[in-house]
Chains A and B, each alone.
Chain A
Amino acid sequence: MTAIVSLKDVQKYYGTYHALRGVTLDIAQGEFFSLLGPSGCGKTTLLRTIAGFEDISEGTLILSGQNMADVPANKRPTNMVFQSYAIFPHLSVGENVAFGLRKRSDLNTKEKAALVQDALEMVGLVGFEKRAAHALSGGQRQRVALARALILKPKVLLLDEPLSALDKKMRDQMQNELRQLQRHVGITFILVTHDQEEALIMSDRIAVMFDGEIAQLADPQTLYRRPISRRVADFIGVMNFLPANASGNKIDIPGLGAATLTPEQCPGGTPSGPCTIGIRPETMSILFGTEPAPARETNGTVHELAYYGDMTYYDIALPGVEKPVTLSMKNLVGRRVLERGESTRISWDDRALVAFAD
């Protein structure tokens, strides 16, 4: 893997506040990389240090083989799509897109206009070049911001929560388009987001950040199935946490009985003594009538339920477990929705369990 972006032990202080605590990271050419974390975790700071808007206090940042220590933002091979899109309000769409072309003295006016046309075509805004910036919808502004950045053919495109200002439908559509666009242009994208679903959908790899540090760096499936800590697991999707007790590779889980876990199921290291077991709602299911269990089963009572249309989420109280476990069932044709207080059998597979040391 040839790293286009390489960070080594990057530290950032704001006065006494330690915003980045030793971030080491390599991002490959052509990768769709996401920085995921709650607000204040340092993901935006990290993106801004790559763009050159923030100095790094310690450590090194190498972009495309060149140390960026003394390179100002306007000389870096990166371009950014801002959270607010930062469309110049005094310029038209075409002028916005052409903004960065002023310095390209190798191009004449005609060639520049052609480049603007190509860029607008790429983001689906042909015929908009005369349009005033304020006459654009949120999705169109986003496209202008993309065209304006991509027209300069950056080595790395930085996206700072680009979809957070859009409504749900538009966001879904743009996620798709962004992904396709990235494959099409082959430029490395670094996306900052607090939306775990967005990160899972779009990324080749995701770095989950907490408190200025990378907690886990993995591809979406590994991140979802094998979160390294309870905190990561809690941040990515929904997971049930059950108190348990480990001795050797045997783990005793009140409510679910004893289970044997493989080392892969303990991504944070094999625990011993009191620990926490995690299991995702969709890996458990309700057994109707005398339906045989595909794996292990136990009895419980419906404590609460939430009907989502396509899915129903049940909170099932298990004997000997304080907190009910949440599981989800698809509302298939002919499948009944249980009622509150109803007794039921539930089933799960031990392979879906993940153990975290306490």
Chain B
Amino acid sequence: MFRNSQTARGLTLIAPPALYALLLLAVPLLAIFAFSFWSQDFLTIDYTPTLNNYREALSEPLYTELMMRSVLIAGAVTVATVLLAFPIAYFVSFHVPQSRKSLWIFLITIPFWTSYLIRVFLWKVILGYNGVLNSSLLSIGIIDEPLTFILYNANAVVITLAHAFAPFAILPIFVSLEKIDRSLLEASRDLGENHVMTFLRVTLPLAVPGVVAATLIVFIPTIGDYVTPRLVGGPNGLMIANMIQTQFLKLNNAPMGAALAVIAMAIVTVIALFFIFLNRRWLKGRNS
């Protein structure tokens, strides 16, 4: 059946995870997809195929606004995370001695030692009305009354998520910077460019694959994040995932929730494809 035993062995090796992925990923996805074309009839599901859910999702201002907000918050988180991660990755790659690099990378992963949920709660403590930040600023007299724009709104969601995803952005950028042959930087200097121009003409273009990877790795999970907006977002910081949860569990309207989930996935897919295309274009004619 198989042309050679190596193919057979390869297929055998990937069979368990493939089966696992199929059962726990593909089947639920298909179920969601199927649900999105059905409709909720009080307690039972009406299996007649319909596009009503999508129609409602795309016309109801509440849904479209949540969708837009999710994209904007995820975009802001991504921009903030990548912009902050790049200098860190650059520092570790270019200015930390080779023998210390793995220690630095290890230290960068420290946030992962505590659970995501606990970290979100910690941000609540830091950003709260009587929180660490406000009381410190008050006590040293920088502000007269507590800042309120930093908790229970979109800002809090951005701050919390940017912190949570920082290592995910640092690592791919670090890897792409590590791959840059240092003699290329010397060549640029040798050909008359100073440090700044060398960075702009050589380092940055060669780090693009890492930046694109970081962007996708941060953007994709962020847009569907549920915990952070729920805990620190307040009413104006809620995102589409919160609405999907509400549809499924509170309003008992699984088909509507499924339709919103499919739309959210479609948005992620479009944006991801755009970045992959960008990466391809950028990397045309590069082998690494």
B286–A90 CB distance below 8 A: yes
A148 interface neighbour in B186, B191, B194, B285, Cβ under 8 Å: B191
Q: Provided the pairs A88-B202, A134-B286 are in contact, do residues A82 and B191 lie with their beta carbons within 8 angstroms?
A: no
- A86 CA to B181 CA, complexed, in Å: 8
Chain B residues whose C-beta falls within 8 Å of the C-beta of A102 in the assembled complex: 192-193, 197, 201
A216 at the interface (CB under 8 A from B): no
Q: Provided the pairs A90-B206, A102-B193 are in contact, do residues A84 and B181 lie with their beta carbons within 8 angstroms?
A: yes
A336 at the interface (CB under 8 A from B): no
Chain B residues whose C-beta falls within 8 Å of the C-beta of A74 in the assembled complex: 189-194
B186–A82 CB distance below 8 A: yes
A82–B183 CB distance below 8 A: yes
Chain B residues whose C-beta falls within 8 Å of the C-beta of A100 in the assembled complex: 191-193
Q: Mark B72-104, 1 if CB is under 8 A from A, else 0.
A: 000000000000000000000000000000000
- A78 CA to B187 CA, complexed, in Å: 11
Q: Nearest chain-B residue to A53 (Cβ)? A: B186
- A148 CA to B189 CA, complexed, in Å: 13
B191 interface neighbour in A52, A99, A132, Cβ under 8 Å: A99
Shortest CB distance B49–A (Å) = 49
Chain B residues whose C-beta falls within 8 Å of the C-beta of A34 in the assembled complex: none
Q: Mark A179-216, 1 if CB is under 8 A from B, else 0.
A: 00000000000000000000000000000000000000
B190 interface neighbour in A73, A83, A132, Cβ under 8 Å: A73
- A114 CA to B34 CA, complexed, in Å: 63
Q: Mark B265-288, 1 if CB is under 8 A from A, else 0.
A: 000000000000000001011111
Shortest CB distance B111–A (Å) = 33
Q: Nearest chain-B residue to A75 (Cβ)? A: B192
B26 at the interface (CB under 8 A from A): no
Q: Mark B9-23, 1 if CB is under 8 A from A, else 0.
A: 000000000000000
B286–A88 CB distance below 8 A: no
B245 at the interface (CB under 8 A from A): no
Chain A residues whose C-beta falls within 8 Å of the C-beta of B288 in the assembled complex: 89
Inter-chain CB contacts under 8 Å: number:
75
Q: Provided the pairs A73-B186, A90-B206 are in contact, do residues A152 and B286 lie with their beta carbons within 8 angstroms?
A: no
B188 at the interface (CB under 8 A from A): yes
A133 at the interface (CB under 8 A from B): yes
- A137 CA to B108 CA, complexed, in Å: 40
Shortest CB distance B136–A (Å) = 43
A103 at the interface (CB under 8 A from B): yes
A132 interface neighbour in B186, B189, B285, Cβ under 8 Å: B285
Q: Nearest chain-A residue to B285 (Cβ)? A: A132
A49 at the interface (CB under 8 A from B): no
Chain A residues whose C-beta falls within 8 Å of the C-beta of B235 in the assembled complex: none
Q: Mark B177-208, 1 if CB is under 8 A from A, else 0.
A: 00001011011111111100100011001100
Q: Provided the pairs A90-B206, A132-B286 are in contact, do residues A84 and B192 lie with their beta carbons within 8 angstroms?
A: no
A88–B190 CB distance below 8 A: no
**Which of the listed residues B188, B192, B205, B288 has the most CB atoms from chain A within 10 Å of its own CB?**
B192
B192–A103 CB distance below 8 A: yes
Chain B residues whose C-beta falls within 8 Å of the C-beta of A78 in the assembled complex: 190
Q: Nearest chain-A residue to B186 (Cβ)? A: A53
Q: Mark A133-153, 1 if CB is under 8 A from B, else 0.
A: 111000000000000110010
A82 interface neighbour in B187, B194, B201, Cβ under 8 Å: B187
Chain A residues whose C-beta falls within 8 Å of the C-beta of B286 in the assembled complex: 89-90, 132, 134
Chain A residues whose C-beta falls within 8 Å of the C-beta of B282 in the assembled complex: 90
Shortest CB distance A173–B (Å) = 24
Chain B residues whose C-beta falls within 8 Å of the C-beta of A86 in the assembled complex: 181, 183-184, 186-187
A89–B188 CB distance below 8 A: no
Q: Mark A47-82, 1 if CB is under 8 A from B, else 0.
A: 000011100000000000000000011110011101
Q: Provided the pairs A84-B181, A84-B183, A86-B186 are in contact, do residues A135 and B285 lie with their beta carbons within 8 angstroms?
A: yes
- A99 CA to B194 CA, complexed, in Å: 13
- A90 CA to B206 CA, complexed, in Å: 7
**Which of the listed residues B189, B191, B192, B197 has the most CB atoms from chain A within 10 Å of its own CB?**
B191
B205 interface neighbour in A90, A135, A149, Cβ under 8 Å: A90
A79–B191 CB distance below 8 A: yes
B191–A152 CB distance below 8 A: yes
Chain B residues whose C-beta falls within 8 Å of the C-beta of A99 in the assembled complex: 188, 191, 201
B192–A152 CB distance below 8 A: yes
Shortest CB distance A55–B (Å) = 14
Q: Provided the pairs A102-B193, A103-B192 are in contact, do residues A88 and B285 lie with their beta carbons within 8 angstroms?
A: no
A240 at the interface (CB under 8 A from B): no
A92 at the interface (CB under 8 A from B): yes
Shortest CB distance A164–B (Å) = 14
- A79 CA to B190 CA, complexed, in Å: 6
B287 interface neighbour in A51, A72, A82, A89, Cβ under 8 Å: A89
* Chain B interface residues (CB < 8 Å from chain A): 181, 183-184, 186-194, 197, 201-202, 205-206, 282, 284-288
Given A72-B194, A74-B192, A90-B205; 20 other pairs, CB 8 A cutoff: A51-B186, A52-B189, A72-B189, A74-B189, A74-B194, A79-B191, A82-B187, A84-B181, A86-B183, A86-B187, A88-B188, A89-B288, A90-B206, A92-B285, A99-B188, A99-B201, A132-B284, A132-B286, A148-B187, A148-B191
A-B contact pairs, 12 of them (CB 8 A): A52-B189, A53-B190, A72-B194, A73-B190, A74-B189, A83-B183, A84-B183, A86-B183, A89-B288, A100-B191, A100-B192, A102-B192
* Chain A interface residues (CB < 8 Å from chain B): 51-53, 72-75, 78-80, 82-84, 86, 88-90, 92, 99-100, 102-103, 132-135, 148-149, 152
